[in-house]
Structure 1
Amino acid sequence: MSLRDRRSVEDLKLNGLNIDLYGTGAMFRDMTRAIHELDLEGALYDEKERFVLPMDDLRWFIKDSRKINWIFFILKSKDGWRNIIYPAKLNQEDALIALFDSWQAAISEKKRLLDHLKEDWIRHTDLDHYYSWFGERDEKKRCEAAWAWYRKEHGRHLKATSKFVNINDILFFLDTLDFSLDAKLLHIEKIKKEIKRQQVRANLKGKKQSNFALHEEVRDQLEALVERYGLTRRQIIERLIRNAVIKGLDGENAPVGSD
């Protein structure tokens, strides 16, 4: 007799366990009592040998919330897993273990699925390096800018997502979305441009803006200075003006009253 047969469970009157007591001593005592009273030790051992994966096979996702979240997303796209239901009382990690335990498949089939998931995870995380820029300097600021951009451009995906504060938050968010690699790279470039625009606006705050045309030769010289010193055009022009104020336009001492 298999304990997974619904009629068997009903015959054994095991439907009365209160899921709200999950993880408590009360449920443990109730289950222990039922197992002893109904002499289920042998049947449970047989079930374990046939269907339950060793814990070592599951350790690769234990205590890794990002990986667990991604596995649920992948499983829901597979036939037979689309309508995954588990008690709300369970956290995602316990729920995933329970789903593997209760899946009526041989241990060998479960191991094959896990092996495929591991391979897919490696390929999936190979793309993480595209987001390394967000984890460099000003990580929090850059990640907040990414969150603001996604809220504006793809707000419907952010309904249950907290504000990004680090690169892992971005990766966690994108793990369960079907954006193509090209789309993701485009998103990154747009976010970078938005951050640059914000920086320019911040730099111009409190400053008078001047627009003027330069002779082509002078413009080329300005570009050469930009490339040589690694500064922006504005920074080069500001330094030239400051030097002219101090030393004069031709290098002589500045005229009296130039300050």
Structure 2
Amino acid sequence: MAIHFNDPLARILDDTSHNRRYDIWRWLQLTINNVQLLGEINQPGMRSTMTHVISSTPGLSEMIKNREAEQLLPEKCLEWINEGTRQVEWLSSKLRERIAYSDSIAPLTSGLIGKDLLIASIDLWSINIKQKGSFLNELESSWNEQKKGDKQFKWFEDEEQKCLLAGKLINKHIPLDGYLSIKLSVYQPIESYENLLIFFDHSNLDHNQKTLFIEKVKITWRQQKYRKNLTGKGQYNFILSDKAIARLDKLSDTYELSRAKILDILLKMEAEQNRYLPERIKLLKDES
């Protein structure tokens, strides 16, 4: 959001309406032009430092204003970049594919991270301003298209444990060799839904490969849930008479419960009330 200033720097540059983005770009422009600046980029005191060097160096203010017109797109062109870490990661990777910064420029932005670094990289890009605007429009369309693939991963959205399980299974079910392995290791461990989406944004796997992996995670998830539900339970094999099975099935149908649940209820009630077995056992003894 733009903030109105009327400090010395604003007066020197005839710009009372600006934001932090402009201050970062100006600092980098001065550094590129070998102007010695005391302090660090993106820190309090930036404007005072720039005011001092610009006011004491003839022609510097005009150079800054001319470069602004050549390099800085209007704020509205960047307003769509507001969706957090995943978007910044994806856009940064696409920007690196398009922009080849020299090693001498990289240290200039060492004090910037995340969205600040992304925007500064766009702003510093020495390309025709109309071409830059067209590229950003294409990038926005590509990002919206990328998000359509999120439907595949909807199953993971409601529970973090599903994402953690996916992270554990990646190395087992997705072969990562050489450069791809090194590249994707940056996006691990996977501890959240956003982490999961970021990883697959950069994996270069096609739709079918992603679907196959997701199905493997779902199968493992169901198996784990099943084993967890079996805790405190045991399996026993015993023979029942045809009449007993018929009675059991009738009770199961009547109450819409499984055979196992019917037996569990009957055993629990008899254990608590001790109502039928003593009498039945006495009859069996008398008959014998």
Give per-residue Cα distances to partners, 1:67-124, cap 9 Å, x unaligned.
Answer: 1110011223336469893532101211111111111111110111111111111111
> Which of the numbers 79, 82, 85 marks the counterpart of 2:106?
85
Q: 2:134 is aligned with what amino acid?
A: R
Q: 2:86 is aligned with what amino acid?
A: R
Q: Report what 2:130 is aligned to.
A: 108
Residue 128 of structure 1: CA displacement? 0.8
Give per-residue Cα distances to partners, 1:27-66, cap 9 Å, x unaligned.
Answer: 4333222222233222222211122111221121146221
Give per-residue Cα distances to partners, 1:186-217, cap 9 Å, x unaligned.
Answer: 111111111111112112233223479xxxxx
Q: Report what 1:209 is aligned to.
A: 235
What do you get for the CA RMSD once the two structures are aligned?
Answer: 3.6
Whole-angstrom CA distance in 2 between matches of 1:79 and 1:54: 20
Q: Report what 1:64 is aligned to.
A: 84
Task: Tell which structure's C-alpha radius of gyration is larger.
Answer: 2
Number of residue equivalences: 223
Whole-angstrom CA distance in 1 between matches of 2:146 and 2:69: 32
Whole-angstrom CA distance in 2 between matches of 1:14 and 1:105: 21
Whole-angstrom CA distance in 2 between matches of 1:160 and 1:103: 26
> Which of the numbers 191, 195, 198 marks the counterpart of 2:217?
191
Q: Report what 2:69 is aligned to.
A: 49
Q: Report what 1:96 is aligned to.
A: 118
Q: Report what 2:160 is aligned to.
A: 140
Whole-angstrom CA distance in 2 between matches of 1:104 and 1:173: 30
Does the residue aligned with 2:98 lie in a helix, a strand or coil?
Answer: coil
Summarize the Cα distance change of 1:133–1:13 in structure 2 as closer, same or farther, 3 Å threshold: closer
Identity, % of aligned positions: 23
Q: 2:116 is aligned with what amino acid?
A: D
> Which sections of structure 2, spanning at least 5 residues, go unmatched?
1-29, 239-244, 270-274, 281-288
Q: Normalization by structure 2: what TM-score?
A: 0.64
Summarize the Cα distance change of 1:191–1:211 in structure 2 as closer, same or farther, 3 Å threshold: farther
- Contact preservation (8 Å) 1:68, 1:92: yes
Residue 152 of structure 1: CA displacement? 4.5
Q: Report what 2:53 is aligned to.
A: 34
Q: Report what 2:43 is aligned to.
A: 24
> Which sections of structure 1, spanning at least 5 residues, go unmatched?
1-8, 213-217, 230-234, 248-253
| Consecutive aligned runs of 4 or more in structure 1 exceeding 6 Å deviation | 81-84
Q: 2:73 is aligned with what amino acid?
A: L
Q: Normalization by structure 1: what TM-score?
A: 0.71
Summarize the Cα distance change of 1:28–1:76 in structure 2 as closer, same or farther, 3 Å threshold: same
- Contact preservation (8 Å) 2:73, 2:129: yes
Q: 1:35 is aligned with what amino acid?
A: I
